[in-house]
Every structure is written in C-alpha cells, then in structure tokens.
Amino acid sequence: MTTTTVSTEHYTGEERSKRIFAIVGASSGNLVEWFDFYVYAFCAIYFAPAFFPSDNPTVQLVNTAGVFAAGFLMRPIGGWIFGRLADKKGRKTSMMISVLMMCFGSLLIACLPTYASIGVWAPLLLLFARLLQGLSVGGEYGTTATYMSEVALKGQRGFFASFQYVTLIGGQLLAVLLVVILQQFLSEDELRAYGWRIPFVVGALAALISLFLRRSLKETASKEMRENKDAGSIRALFRDHKAAFITVLGYTAGGSLIFYTFTTYMQKYLVNTAGMHAKTASYIMTGALFLYMCMQPLFGMLADKIGRRNSMLWFGALGTLFTVPILLSLKSVSSPFLAFVLITVALAIVSFYTSISGLVKAEMFPPEVRALGVGLAYAVANAIFGGSAEYVALSLKAVGMENSFYWYVTVMMAVAFLFSLRLPKQAKYLHHDL
C-alpha cells in the first residue's frame, strides 16, 4: 500500500532540506493555533467586562471561562471534520483550512464590538469565534501529527515528531510573554479599553504567515490513497480499526489528564493549595514550561533509541508511581525552587508521552484513515479528560477531597500503562521507514 508520495529509501541533501522545511512549515501552524487558542485565556481578565457586564468580576470570568470551555468541546467535531478532509483531500489542504479558520476566529475577536455597542450580540459573536477556533485546533493536532510522521527522516521520527509539542508549548509561552510585554507598556485601563485586542491581531497576522509557509508544502497523501473508497470514512475506521482507536483513546486519556494537571492547572494549584503568591507561581510555571518545551526533542531522540513502545511504558509506569508523591509534596512546599524542581520532574515524566504522542498514534492507522483516527481519538480523550482536569480538581477540593484527585490521575496513568502494553513492538504502519 502506498503511504506517501515522497521516496523514503534514502535522502539526498536536497531531500533532507525539503523534509526539514516541511516539519517547520507544519509545526509553525501548530504554534500559531495554540497561541491563538490560549491567548483568550490569558486576556480574559481584561476583556470580560466588555462582553459580560456585571457588578461581580467572578461572574464575568465564569462567563468567559464558559466560552473557553465551549471551544474545548468543539475539538472532537474538529478532529472528525479535518481528519476526514485530510484523508479525502490531502494533509496540506486540511492544514491550510485549519490555520485560515483560526486566523478568522482571532481577527473576529480582535474586531468585535462590545456589549455596550451591540448588546447581547457581542457575547454571541464571541462564542461563535471561539467555536470556530475550537474546530480549528481540534483538527490541527491529528492532521499535523499525521503529516509530520509521514515526512520525518528515517531513524529520526521521534526527534522530528517531538516538534509538534515544542510548538504547542511554545504557543502557550508566547501568549503569556506577549501579555506580560503589554502589561509593561499599557496601564490596566488601557488594557481593558483596547490593549486586549492586540494579541488577537498578532495571532491573526501570524496565522497568515503560517498559511504562506504551508502553501509550499509537498502533499504526503498519494492520489491513490485519497481516491480509496475508505479514505476519511468513520465507518471504515470503526469497522477495521476499532482496536487501534480504543488503544489510542485509552493512553491519550491518561496523557491528556496528566498534561493539563501539570501545565494549565498547576499555576492555580500552587496558589490555591500551596499558598504561593500568584506572581511567584507564574514565574515558576514559565520557567518549568520553557524547560518542558526544550525537553521534547531530547525525549524524542531517546524514543528513537529505546523504541516508542518502551517510552510509552516508562511514561505509564513512572506516572503511576510518582504522581501522588509529587502532588503531595507540592501541596506543602514552601520553597519556590523546590516547587520548580518537582514540577520539572513531573513534566519530564510527561515528556516520555508528549514527545512522541502524535507519532505513536499515527503509526496505529493506515494512511486512508490516519488523520481521522489520530485526530478523533485525541480530540475525544482530550475533551473528556484533559478539558475537565481543572474542573474535577477544583470540585474535589471544594468538598474537602483534594487528595482524591491525585489518585484519579494515578489510576488514569495506570490505565495508560495497560493500554501501552497493547502497542505492537513493531509498528504496523509506517514501519518501512523506521
């Protein structure tokens, strides 16, 4: 079966350069998508009053958080739509439409009139823009993971595939950095009046640059594959590859949960549970996330040496053993440096998974349903387990059962370990180029 239109037997210098450019082009869009998606969360404190007028700031933030969650819940639909599009029309087409949709969503938010100008239409249009962005980012993961796995250099798939999470984390860090820079030059009143719009304009412009880069990418889905009657078929996916889909869903559930536990939720955990100052917690998490981003290629290279299955097993085993001790230690930590070290250790464990997660998923499916299988399984598990991590943690804390959350994450890590045992020692698909 033909899986790619690009020869994978050996590489000339020109071919190697083209493949590296392809990785850069694909991952650039990933960075932009995640920058645009998360800049909403970081700017919400400033634009919430403009769309949800209320005397209670908490009510305003709850409303903006609800719109953020709605974008999260659109991911499975985006995974299905863009996965099908990538398998039927090509990876390149899907990636271009995805980043264009994110561009439009960001530009719409940047230009939206406020509640004072158009009334209830303001929050409704904000919700519409977030739904578009949720669709876009839901489709981005599967298509990018598929494309990057198909163009990665022989024997270095883990290393090159790791740049998907380098850019994912990088997008979040750049979103934080831009907000911090704006805070240095604009007053709080200026940020509330118009400054919050600037990051969305920057995101839209960056998306156009990424679109330009992606236009020049070479398609990896062959014409024969795209014309296959099963290409992009959800019926064929569940008829012939149900076991692979369930396996991917199983370890992605634990992977998504622990990822969001030690990234987006951790800042709130340091403040609400460990009692740290918010600014201190921000510094800790910025440093930890930067190191986490840098770890990805190293763990990708490690996976190339020891095998993807072994990396996944180490992830599940270490996550099961150390989640409770790390979270309990962070609960009573007083030293910012020790907190930083503990979080970095946790993120190193998570890196066994995130550095190769897209590649491991892509290797489970044949090319005609690869983007669909990867995107849909990831988006469903991510929406259910990753998206709910903060809500579950805070809900259990509110009823005096915070420690139960630690065990919940541990159980899901054990589940990830068990599902990783189902991974074949030799990848069924793409193995010819390993």
Q: Which of 169, 159, 151, 173 is nearest to 95 (CA)?
A: 151
Half-sphere exposure of 192 (CA within 13 A, CB side): 10
CATH 1.20.1250.20 fits 10-237, yes or no: yes
Q: In the chain, where are the structural domains located?
A: 10-237, 242-364+388-424
What helix, strand, coil percent values describe the chain, rounded to 5? Answer: 80, 0, 20
pLDDT at 311: 96
**Residue 61 predicted with pLDDT over 70:** no
Q: What is the pLDDT of residue 5?
A: 39
**Does the pLDDT value for residue 189 go beyond 50?**
yes
Q: Is the pLDDT of residue 1 over 70?
A: no
Give the C-alpha separation, 237 to 227, whole Å: 16
For residue range 80-111, list pLDDT tens digits in order.
Answer: 999 899 888 888 899 899 889 989 999 999 99
Average pLDDT value for residue range 399-411: 94
Query: Which residue type does 365 have?
Result: F
Q: At a CB cut-off of 8 Å and minimum separation 6, what does 66 contact?
A: none
Whether the CB-CB separation of 412 and 298 falls below 8 Å is answered with no
The pTM (predicted TM-score) of the whole model is: 0.85
Task: Give Cα separations from 362 to 35, 86, 323, 356, 371 (angstroms).
Answer: 24, 13, 27, 10, 7
Alpha helices by DSSP H, listed for 4-56, are 13-51
Confidence of residue 426 (pLDDT cuts 50, 70, 90): low
User: 153-177: per-residue pLDDT in tens?
Assistant: 777 888 888 988 998 899 888 988 8
pLDDT confidence band for 198 (50 / 70 / 90): very high
Selection from 275, 284, 372 nearest residue 331 by Cα = 275
Helices 13-51 and 197-215 pack at an angle, to 10 degrees, of 160
- The average pLDDT across 139-144 equals 85
CA 424 to chain centre: 25
Q: What is the pLDDT of residue 97?
A: 92
Listed in sequence order, the DSSP H helices in 196-307 are 197-215, 223-226, 234-240, 242-262, 266-272, 278-306
247, 364 in Cβ contact below 8 A? Answer: yes
- Going from the C-alpha of 90 to that of each of 153, 168, 210, 367, the distances in angstroms are 20, 22, 17, 11
> Which pLDDT band holds residue 434 (cuts at 50, 70, 90)?
very low
Q: Which two tokens stand for residue 182?
A: 């704006």
